[in-house]
Amino acid sequence: KGKEAVEIFKANTDKNPADPNVWDSLGEGYTNIGDKDNAIMAFKKSLSLNPPPNVRANSLKLLKQLGVDVNQMP
């Protein structure tokens, strides 16, 4: 089920590449299946797209849980 969700989230990023929320969701999907590297990439992409505060907070929280030093994030 987790991999199916990731495929849906990946399709959403293809359709809406400038939407930070779809990248945040993709990051969550990767986190749920244990794909740390792709999760980090997706959360960083979300943050690069000037997300709204709630999406930014979620991406930063999950990056921190993945061991990323979020103090170095823009």
Q: Say if domain 2-67 classifies as CATH 1.10.260.40.
A: no
Tell me the pLDDT tens digit for each residue of 8-61: 999 999 999 999 999 999 999 999 999 999 999 999 999 999 999 999 999 999
In the numeric block, which tokens belong to residue 44?
């960083």
Task: Return the pLDDT at 72.
Answer: 75
Asked if pLDDT for residue 62 goes beyond 70, the answer is yes
CA-wise closest residue to 5 among 20, 22, 60, 19: 22
Please state the separation of Cα 63 from the chain's center in Å: 8
Asked if pLDDT for residue 74 goes beyond 70, the answer is no
Asked if pLDDT for residue 1 goes beyond 90, the answer is no
Tell me the C-alpha distance between 9 and 6, whole Å. 5
Tell me the C-alpha distance between 59 and 69, whole Å. 12
